[in-house]
């Protein structure tokens, strides 16, 4: 290297402070330095591709653009080289000598001046609009050397700096420089030696830069044969007709980190005011983090095929199981590219991708019920979060929803199926919510509904108690809990036409109910005759207003309310035990049985007796009395 005309120059900004910020504040992950350097190399190749349209001679005898990563573990160095446009001395000083001055930005401005809006659109294909990514190299390097030769030029230059306040620019012999393009050589720090190892480089490139529009090869040590890391073609940019099912599966596995087959693939390009490409997958199996408390999505955001982040909220949280990528050429970025600005484009992308995923799920449900059933089995509990979070799409999500019901057997049914078999005079969609599917399926609250052939939704997911309490309806039919308020079943005929309608409670039973109400006044809000019970003696329900029993328990457990409200005890006036109890004159027995009936109702509702000792004592007295009487 020639040093006779080496020129040392100070950076044109407060480099010490800004480089400290770059290394310690702007980037949270040191791996991004390679992404930034590969991005710059891709920029250079894209610039040459454009300029060669007017000047084909710039490509010379090497028309194939490429990026090469060369490691030297022995020397502890890493080089990233491209055969793109390269830089002249002045361009090198301008691009590398000033923090936040971007050669790409200048190139875009020049295109816009020459060709107007169309030229600006071409420039939008380029990456690196802020000119600071290059300096992330100092996170892992004690010294950086950049050797560059502009395409068509007869001289080459080297830029060097330790990032501590100044840099040098000097001419370099042509035999030490690329025929055209740029080579960035990093002298790695002791704590960054892993970046000269093949497996580290392969992982980073495939994860963060595997889809830039330029092929990438890796030379793992001097003299080794180059290995291909990327063919320069992003899968999502290809026509769907050119992509096989296996291609989609392989890409899904790489982006999702799973080994199952995708249950659904959604691949589309949005055009119009905003343009972007989305490739999303519904997994065939539940991801391990499906129920993480932070509920983050896992869609990777790319800008012009360069990975930016997987933290952008590109889908609502109830679709967090979806895996894939979104690639936009227009999305505005901040200085680090790691935090996406709150922009109209991001909102448009989120809306468009969300609508498309939901519509494709609806199409799958219509065309292949079995396949959709598996999707719902895996992710239905999460999708239902959208029923109270996403008012705009609530009706669409209700159309997707599948439910276990008292009529579904081992399968599930849609609300469309439910509404199609509404009973005469039925004005609501009935449900029962709880935390145990088997228990709620055998709940006494269902007896009167079964007797009338009324289908009831069996809601056993924790989220169910929330969305049904949000006041929504379906086709004008409100959702009504069978454990809340009056059942109002009198107008719906019984299935067995020979069965007479329930008779009014006798005077003795009416008096018993009044006595039980007085005995349990501290524990229940009311005691009344029930028209929802046919076989069981008692059940507990919630008042007409306020939360149902399950939602109330969840709110109390979460500390959202001080304690649950007093329930209402419903008594089956036609039950033989109730009739016998009404006939006895032993008030002590009536009092004991009243408390036992309440505790029995609590047990049937999935709770425990409030006072286990008192429960056992009363039960013991009644057993002893029965044995004595016999």
pLDDT in tens, 348-378: 999 999 999 999 999 999 999 999 999 999 9
DSSP type of residue 181: E
pTM for this structure? Answer: 0.76
pLDDT at 527 over 70: yes
Per-residue pLDDT at 508 exceeds 80? yes
pLDDT-derived band of residue 12, with 50, 70 and 90 as boundaries?
A: low
Q: Write the burial class of residue 509 (CB in 10 Å: 0-12 exposed, 13-18 middle, 19+ buried).
A: buried
For the chain, percent helix, then strand, then coil, each to nearest 5? 40, 20, 40
If one compares 210 and 11, the residue with the highest pLDDT of the two is 210
Q: How confident is the model at residue 144 (pLDDT cuts 50, 70, 90)?
A: very high
Q: Is 205 left (phi over 0), alpha (psi -120 to 50) or beta?
A: alpha
What does DSSP say about strands 477-481 and 429-433: parallel, antiparallel, or unpaired? parallel
Q: What percent of the chain has pLDDT over 70?
A: 86
SS3 track for 299-361: EEEEECCEEEECCCCCCCHHHCCCEEEEEECCCCECCCCCCECCCHHHHHHHHHHHHHHHHHH
The whole-angstrom separation of Cα 472 and Cα 200 is 52
Give the C-alpha separation, 180 to 253, whole Å: 37
Is residue 179 a contact partner of residue 167, using CB atoms and an 8 Å limit? Answer: no
- Whether residue 489 contacts residue 449, with contact meaning beta carbons closer than 8 Å, is answered with yes
Helix axes 576-583, 587-604, angle to 10 degrees: 160
Q: In order of start, what are the domains of the chain with their CATH numbers?
A: 7-230 (3.30.565.10), 235-376 (3.30.230.80), 401-629 (3.40.50.11260)
Most confident listed range (47-56, 90-99, 610-619)? 610-619
Cα separation values, 405 from 418, 441, 593, Å? 9, 8, 34
Q: Taking residues 327-341, what's their average pLDDT? A: 62
pLDDT of residue 336: 46
Report how far residue 600's alpha carbon sits from residue 595's, in angstroms, rounded to the nearest whole number.
9
Closest CA to 483 of 518, 443, 451, 511: 443
| pLDDT (mean) for 335-350 | 69
Tokens found for residue 583: 């006939």
Q: pLDDT of 113-130, one tens digit each? A: 655 555 444 444 444 444
b (16+ CB within 10 A) / e for 35-66: bbbbbbbbbbbbbbbbbbeeeeebbeeeeebb
Distance CA 564, CA 542 (A): 10
- Is 131 annotated among the ligand-binding residues? yes
* Closest to 81 measured CA to CA, from 182, 228, 215: 182
Closest alpha carbon to 385 in 314, 467, 320:
467
What does the alpha-carbon distance between residue 147 and residue 160 come to, in Å, rounded to a whole number? 9
212 is in an annotated binding site: no
> Residue 94: its pLDDT value, please?
86
Instruction: Judge whether 82 is annotated as a binding position.
Output: yes
State yes or no: pLDDT of 16 exceeds 70.
no
**Mean pLDDT score, 167-189:** 95
Does residue 98 register a pLDDT over 50? yes
- Where on the phi/psi map is residue 620: left (φ > 0), alpha (ψ -120 to 50), or beta? alpha
Question: What residues form DSSP beta bridges with 184?
Answer: 80, 146
Q: Tell me the pLDDT tens digit for each residue of 578-611.
A: 999 999 989 999 999 999 999 999 998 888 998 9
Q: Determine the Cα–Cα distance for residues 10 and 306; give it in Å rounded to an integer.
A: 31
The reply, when asked if residue 132 is annotated as ligand binding, is: yes
| In the chain, % of residues over pLDDT 90 | 56
Query: What is residue 120's predicted lDDT score, i.e. its pLDDT?
Result: 45
To the question of whether residue 426 is assigned a binding role by annotation, the answer is no
Residue 133 annotated as binding?
Answer: yes
CA distances from 410 to 375, 403, 404, 413, 499 (A): 16, 11, 8, 10, 29
> Which of 622, 534, 533 is closest to 569 using CA atoms?
533
Pairing between β-strand 526-529 and β-strand 538-541 as defined by DSSP bridges: unpaired
Select, from the ranges 28-37, 216-225, 620-629, the one with the highest average predicted confidence (pLDDT): 216-225
Strand partners, 188: 141
């Amino acid at each position: 290297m020639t040093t006779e005309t080496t020129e040392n120059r100070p950076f044109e900004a407060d480099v010490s402070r800004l480089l400290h910020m770059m290394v310690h504040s702007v980037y949270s992950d040191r791996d991004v330095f390679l992404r930034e350097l590969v991005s710059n190399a891709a920029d250079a190749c894209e610039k040459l591709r454009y300029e060669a349209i007017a000047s084909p001679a710039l490509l010379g005898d090497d028309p194939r653009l490429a990026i090469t990563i060369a490691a030297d573990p022995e020397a502890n160095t890493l080089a990233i080289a491209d055969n793109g446009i390269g830089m002249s001395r002045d361009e090198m000083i301008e691009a590398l000598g000033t923090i936040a001055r971007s050669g790409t930005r200048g190139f875009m401005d020049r295109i816009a001046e020459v060709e107007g809006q169309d030229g600006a659109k071409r420039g939008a294909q380029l990456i690196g609009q802020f000119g600071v990514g290059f300096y992330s190299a100092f996170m892992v390097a004690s010294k950086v050397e950049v050797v560059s030769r502009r395409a068509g030029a007869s001289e080459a230059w080297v830029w060097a700096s330790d990032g501590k306040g100044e840099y040098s620019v000097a001419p370099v012999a042509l035999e030490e420089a690329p025929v055209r393009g740029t080579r960035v050589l990093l002298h790695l720090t002791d704590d960054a030696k892993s970046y000269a190892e093949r497996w580290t480089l392969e992982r980073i490139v495939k994860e963060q830069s595997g889809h830039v529009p330029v092929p990438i090869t890796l030379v793992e040590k001097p003299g080794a044969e180059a290995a291909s890391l990327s063919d320069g073609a992003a899968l999502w940019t290809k026509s769907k007709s050119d992509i096989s099912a296996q291609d989609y599966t392989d890409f899904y596995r790489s982006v999702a980190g799973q080994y199952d087959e995708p249950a659904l693939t959604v691949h589309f390009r949005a055009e119009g005011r905003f343009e972007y490409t989305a490739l999303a997958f519904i997994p065939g199996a539940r991801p391990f983090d499906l129920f993480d408390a932070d509920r983050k999505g896992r869609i990777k955001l790319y800008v012009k095929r360069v990975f930016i982040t997987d933290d952008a909220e590109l889908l609502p949280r109830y679709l967090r199981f979806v895996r894939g990528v979104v690639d936009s050429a227009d999305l505005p970025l901040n200085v680090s590219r790691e935090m996406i600005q709150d922009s109209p484009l991001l909102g448009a992308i989120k809306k468009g991708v969300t609508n498309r995923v939901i519509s494709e799920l609806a199409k799958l449900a219509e065309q292949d019920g079995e396949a959709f059933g598996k999707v719902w089995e895996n992710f239905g509990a999460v999708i239902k979060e959208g029923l109270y979070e996403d008012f705009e799409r609530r009706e669409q999500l209700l159309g997707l929803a599948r439910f276990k019901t008292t009529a579904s057997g081992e399968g599930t049914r849609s609300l469309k199926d439910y509404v199609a078999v509404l009973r005469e005079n039925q004005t609501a969609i009935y449900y029962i919510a709880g935390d145990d599917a088997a228990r709620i399926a055998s709940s006494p609250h269902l007896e009167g509904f079964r007797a009338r052939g009324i289908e009831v939704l069996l809601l056993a997911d924790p989220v169910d108690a929330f969305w049904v309490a949000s006041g929504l309806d379906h086709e004008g039919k409100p959702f009504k809990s069978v454990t809340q308020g009056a059942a109002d079943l009198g107008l719906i005929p019984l299935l067995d036409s020979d069965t007479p309608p329930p008779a009014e409670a006798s005077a003795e039973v009416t008096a018993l109910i009044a006595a039980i109400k007085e005995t349990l006044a501290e524990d229940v809000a009311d005691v009344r005759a029930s028209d929802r019970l046919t076989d069981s003696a008692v059940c507990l329900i919630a008042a007409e207003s306020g939360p149902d029993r399950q939602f109330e328990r969840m709110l109390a457990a979460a500390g959202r309310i001080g304690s649950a409200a007093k329930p209402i005890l419903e008594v089956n006036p036609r039950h033989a035990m109730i009739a016998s109890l009404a006939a006895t004159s032993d008030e002590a027995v009536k009092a004991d049985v009243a408390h036992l009936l309440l505790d029995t109702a609590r047990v049937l509702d999935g709770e425990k007796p409030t006072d286990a000792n008192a429960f056992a004592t009363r039960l013991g007295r009644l057993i002893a009395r029965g044995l004595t009487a016999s």
